[in-house]
Amino acid sequence: MSIDSKIDELTKTFSMDRKYCSDLLNSDAASEVAKIIIYYKWAINYLPHIQEGLLEITSKHFEPEFHEEASFFTAVLTGSILKDLSLIPYFTIRGIGSEAGIAIRRSLEHIGVLTHFWYYPEKIAFVRDTKTKNYKESFKYEKNNHIREQLKSQGIAKRFSSCQAFGQSATELWIIMSNYVAHGGTANNLILTSIEPGEYSCGFYNRSLSDVIKISNLLSRGCEILCAEIAYIHGTYGKKYNVTPAKVGEGGRILTKLLAGTNRNSNEMERQIAQTLFELQQDSMIQELNNIQ
């Protein structure tokens, strides 16, 4: 017996992964899970090229004394967001919704900092020293009373005030994920945590289908926000400095078609959801037939 089979015999974790994933993709959340996968595919195909383009632009966009600092934090933050855009589907299809939510919240904070110092390059001087007053006023707390009231009326936190498309949505989502998945010591954490073993439990974790179904639209929305805001940065400054690699242009055109309309999916997103679910279900049916034979 192989090592993974022995682990599964002991914990049932791999078999529960498979059962949970199959049932999730046959549930009411299937379309939202497909969207998460679609944004993941977009990210792994295009974010490395966007990152490369932004790193080329830093020498044109920031003052010479901050070129190295801007390059470092641009690489770190975009790389961390790409990591989380891979972890979100990983956790989601395994039923670990709370950890997917933590990944969303973490990367929302990354995108907040990234947009601040790209749209206001002078803020790069304060990005490293997170405990200082200058950092807090640049990235977290608005000191100007008029601007603070204006942001409050718009439902936008200072953290996300430099986001170009989804400042309000990022604020709302960050608050939800902060309250229910990130901050310990309160009963809110229990909302997405099953204490009692259930149908999908293994030796490591009590998965809950209903819990992930409840937040699947929030997880897909988070992926959309992250992809869009990074693309907006390159779209803005790639044109300004004439740095737009072919793959970045292609990715931008595809993402524009994917982005949601008002309270509905775009036609392209609906097409890709249908295609993704068809391919997944087709592969599943072929596997089942092979098992029967």
Asked if the structure places residue 10 within a domain, the reply is no
Domain count, the chain: 1
The radius of gyration computed from the CA coordinates of the chain, to the nearest angstrom, equals 21
Asked if the structure places residue 40 within a domain, the reply is yes
Percent of the chain with pLDDT over 70: 91
Query: Which amino acid would we find at residue 136?
Result: K
Asked if the structure places residue 211 within a domain, the reply is yes
- 139 Cβ neighbours under 8 A, 6+ residues apart: 112, 113, 116, 123, 126, 127, 158, 159
- 206 Cβ neighbours under 8 A, 6+ residues apart: 193, 194, 195, 196, 197, 198, 200
Asked if the structure places residue 5 within a domain, the reply is no
The token pair at 14 is 């791999």
Asked if the structure places residue 156 within a domain, the reply is yes
Asked if the structure places residue 204 within a domain, the reply is yes
Asked if the structure places residue 74 within a domain, the reply is yes
Pick from 214, 255, 206: nearest CA to 96: 206
pLDDT under 50: residue ranges of the chain = 285-286, 288-290, 292-293
Q: Tell me the pLDDT tens digit for each residue of 106-150.
A: 999 999 999 999 999 999 999 999 999 999 999 999 999 999 999
Q: Tell me phi and psi for residue 264, to 5 degrees.
A: -160, 160
Pick from 258, 243, 282: nearest CA to 45: 258
Asked if the structure places residue 239 within a domain, the reply is yes
The kind and range of the H/E element at 206 are: none
Domain with 122 in it: 29-292
